[in-house]
Chain A
Amino acid sequence: MDILGVPIQALMGQLLIGLINGSFYAILSLGLAIIFGLLNIINFAHGALYMAGAFFAWIAMDALGIDYWVALVAVPIVVGAIGMLIERTMLKHLYRLDHLYGLLLTFGLALIIEGLFRYRFGISGQSYPVPELLSGGFNLGFMFLPKYRAWVIAVSLVVCFGSWYIIERTKLGSYLRAGTENPQLLQAFGINVPLMITLTYGFGVALAAFAGVLAAPLFQVNPVMGSNLIIVVFAVVVIGGMGSIMGSIITGLGLGLVEGLTRVFYPEASAVVIFVIMGVVLLLRPAGLFGRER
């Protein structure tokens, strides 16, 4: 059976691959959305921190012999701590200023972080092997699905919806949402809002680093892997609606699928299609698909 001249089996394979890429978009845009929601900072350093996550995993393996599973937990904690340091020492001075200042500061940070890694490791990067437990794959009939890719989809769905649950359905999450709406009032109730902000930024950054560790066995670990991805992720956030948690998850996965389909029908446009959608969405729904106009 063919759809527009493409065998349905090939189409299934491409959709599955789109879903895998969408998982990365979802985790990264989720982190961005959380940070933007509470801090009002457009975190341009997100891509660089994602790259740092991948590199730390590689360094941990190469220099210290730490395996993938430990890195998957430890690296996000370490990078998250670095993120909190950045928030405490730099970002906190910018909250009362225009968005643009936060954007410029984090953009500068991204360039510095990338430059440091490039200086130390060169541009071709390093190879991170797929962990033994997840090497090989399943033959699904219509395609060969590497076990590792299946794991990426599963774990990112768990992490994304777990984060959504914490933010939307728990008491901690309700503080967070309250902080987004009215930080002064929340402080009046005796909640330590500055600490909450620091932890939130740390969590957003840890998500980026987590995605980085997940990506390490898939892509060559190199200093520009983040900047290649981050522009797309920003488009995802804009389409989903700035600050909307569920919006960023669904949009991330959905756009991964759209991109996958484009690669089947018109591969040359696969780098542009997300931006075309962004343009259309901005024209029709300026607040994004899931955003609310304030």
Chain B
Amino acid sequence: MKRRALASAVAAAVIVAGPAFAQSAKISDGVVKFGVLTDMSGTYSDLAGPGTVAATQMAIDDFIAKEKPDFKIEMISADHQNKADISANKAREWIDTQKVDALVDLVTTSTALAVMKVANEKNRVTLVSGAGSTPITNEQCNDTTAHWTYDTYSLPVGTAKAVVAQGGKTWYFITADYAFGHSLEKNTSDVVKKSGGKVLGSVRHPFPGSDFSSFLLSAQASGAQVIGLANAGNDTINSIKQAKEFGITPKQTLAGLLMFISDVHSLGLDATQGMYLTTGFYWDYNDETRAWSKRFFDKMKRMPTMVQAGNYSSVYHYLKAVKAAGTDEAKAVMTKMREMPVNDFFAKNGKLRIDGRMVHDMYLAQVKKPSESKYPWDYYHIRQVIPADQAFIPLSESTCPLVKK
């Protein structure tokens, strides 16, 4: 009797699970297709853009060579022009007519939030690398989005802590007046206050700007020891350049809260030497990062930024999960992505959490003096490795509804 009950239970389980299993255990139309949406021509095109497209292609080629999958992999790309409406429309079009399975990169917060919502509605995966605001994995999180490279919580954990520890107790912010800048300013203020520092004020500049002298004068007048630059790309570059011109540095310290190696390259070591910055990746960190970065350099004639390296890592990990799950159904792939640790040149024992945050070690870097730089792109001293569990917002503080408390 007992055995019969067990047998019928098993039979019932097979009947219920069977069709679902049969349905999901395949790749839709035999192709896994990536849609890369990035800034191909605007302010952020050097730190993402064509380099992101190249990195995605490298991930696809490497995966095919190493893992010999029995499905085809394709990629298409477009310029999202840093506009939410354009990104959302493109994502919708790609999913509906091009059968795109995963959307990649998204360099501004507005584009990321718009696309991850569309993709979630249509049950597709979004792999965010370029955008950085914390709402992506907090109040606006969803179960088909992975946020890979960095966020505005992780940046000040390294930079602001280090600068306060060096004696930079009073801060003033020059902030880009949009979601990302606000988020970065807020997260940094929290870290500064927690570390025993004080925030004297802030000024918000229109995005994008070119002349920062007025804002720098306000910062100078505040008398703060540290001027925190809560902006990115060309805005940061021009702020640093003009701070030097007005004799603000080295009297006051500048803290670039989001700086990419492309910015340092463009400004030169003379203007940036001694600055602290937090990064998710540095090409010259170890043999593995060097090997990959040199391959990237051969294609792009530039060393990769953390965004470009992160894109490779997320795409490769996604493909591994598709192979392991035997399907490209978004939720099944996401489950596999969360189960498998991320181990590649970009991250060691990285983990994708339920809120969509991929947690991995971050690095506190200090820009070298011109005399210390021995070869091209030799720009950083890595001063500290920030362990994954400190670098990102703890799940206990997360406001993502998917996190069960």
A-side residues, CB < 8 A to B, are: 7, 10, 13-14, 17-18, 20-21, 115, 118, 122-127, 130, 137, 143-144, 146, 148-149, 218-220, 222, 224-225, 228-229, 260, 263-264, 267-268, 270-272
Contacts and interface: CB of A to CB of B under 8 A. Distances in A.
Contacts of A225: 210
B39 to A, nearest CB: 9
A31 B42 CA distance: 27
Most buried by A among B217, B262, B271, B302: B217
Contacts of A271: 206, 209
B361 to A, nearest CB: 27
A123 B246 contact: no
A143 B217 contact: yes
A58 B403 CA distance: 53
Nearest to B302: A122
Given A124-B266, A228-B210, 9 more contacts: A10-B218, A123-B44, A123-B46, A127-B266, A127-B268, A149-B213, A219-B211, A267-B214, A270-B205
Given A127-B267, A148-B245, A267-B204, A122 B46 contact: yes
Contact of A229 (B45, B47, B210, B218): B210
Contact of A124 (B214, B215, B233, B247): B233
B203 interface: yes
Given A118-B41, A146-B246, A17 B213 contact: yes
A173 B205 CA distance: 42
Contacts of A148: 245
Given A14-B217, A130-B245, A143-B217, A123 B238 contact: no
A124 B221 contact: no
Contact of B247 (A13, A18, A144, A228): A144
Nearest to B264: A124
A260 B213 CA distance: 10
26 contacts: A7-B221, A13-B217, A14-B214, A17-B214, A20-B213, A122-B45, A122-B46, A123-B41, A123-B42, A123-B46, A124-B262, A124-B265, A124-B266, A127-B241, A127-B271, A130-B245, A137-B247, A143-B217, A219-B238, A220-B238, A263-B214, A263-B215, A267-B203, A267-B204, A270-B205, A270-B206
A172 to B, nearest CB: 35
A13 B216 CA distance: 11
B208 interface: yes
Interface in B40-64: 41-47, 49
Interface of B: 41-47, 49, 177, 203-206, 208-211, 213-215, 217-218, 221, 233-234, 237-238, 241-242, 245-247, 262-263, 265-268, 271, 302
A270 B209 CA distance: 10
For the complex of A and B, the 4 pairs showing the least CB-CB separation, nearest first, are: A271-B206, A124-B266, A263-B214, A124-B46
Contacts of B271: 127
A111 to B, nearest CB: 10
A7 B205 CA distance: 20
A219 B210 contact: yes
Contacts of A123: 41-46, 49, 233-234
Nearest to A136: B247
Given A14-B214, A267-B215, A125 B234 contact: yes
B242 A218 contact: yes
B325 to A, nearest CB: 38
Nearest to B208: A228
Most A CB within 10 A of own CB, among B208, B246, B262: B246
A103 B80 CA distance: 26
Contact of B237 (A146, A149, A220): A220
A165 to B, nearest CB: 29
Contact of A220 (B49, B204, B221, B266): B266
B78 to A, nearest CB: 17
A246 to B, nearest CB: 25
Contacts of A270: 205-206, 214
A127 B266 CA distance: 7
A137 B247 CA distance: 8
A218 B205 CA distance: 18
Contacts of B247: 137, 144, 146
Contacts of A263: 214-215, 218
A270 B177 CA distance: 11
B177 A220 contact: no
Contacts of B267: 127, 220
B214 A260 contact: yes
A18 B215 CA distance: 12
Contacts of B206: 268, 270-272
B45 A220 contact: no
Contacts of B209: 271
Contacts of A272: 206
A115 B265 CA distance: 21
A21 B234 CA distance: 18
Nearest to B39: A123
A112 to B, nearest CB: 13
Given A13-B217, A124-B234, A124-B266, A268 B42 contact: no
Contacts of B49: 123
Nearest to A137: B247
Nearest to A261: B214
Given A10-B217, A125-B234, A268 B210 contact: no
Contact of B234 (A17, A130, A220, A260): A220
